[in-house]
Amino acid sequence: MPANRRRQSPEQVRDWIVQGVERLGLEEIGRRAAFRRGYRLLEMSGLVTAQIAQRHEQRFPVARRLAVADQQSGNNVLWFGMSEQTRRRNGEAAVDGDCPCRGTRQIRAVYGEGQDQLAMLCPVHAQASIRAQREGNWQELPGGRA
């Protein structure tokens, strides 16, 4: 783990990554990565609740360190690429807490008592539908659910 602000060699950074994986285990690393991606997807859509933000901050208490880890992760992908298994796993996202979609995969906008309508698909729980829509393969599922 870095103890100072000095720029570290790529080998040192990779050693720290291995140390972290050994300390936490692959399953926990995957769980945290899914929560990180879920948080990021909600954040980009302005859907982070106080509960989700609190849990994210407990998991990553130093925002600067998380930003550096994100940058290093991006650099590793740039220079070393990813296996197909890693590429598929990277798309996994989860919410640590109650998702704003409440399990419906839909974010609804409320315009008044009893008046609401679909505002957007949940960026975490409707990823497959969103991806299909972007690829032009959109199909409404039975019951109008995304």
Which residues of this chain interact with Zn ion, rule CB under 5 A? 99, 101, 122, 124-125
Tell me whether residue 31 or residue 108 sits nearer to Zn ion (CB atom): 108
Min CB(101)–Zn ion separation in Å: 3
Task: Tell me the pairing of strands 106-112 and 115-121.
Answer: antiparallel
Min CB(120)–Zn ion separation in Å: 11
Min CB(126)–Zn ion separation in Å: 7
Tell me whether residue 81 or residue 144 sits nearer to Zn ion (CB atom): 144
Tell me whether residue 97 or residue 111 sits nearer to Zn ion (CB atom): 97
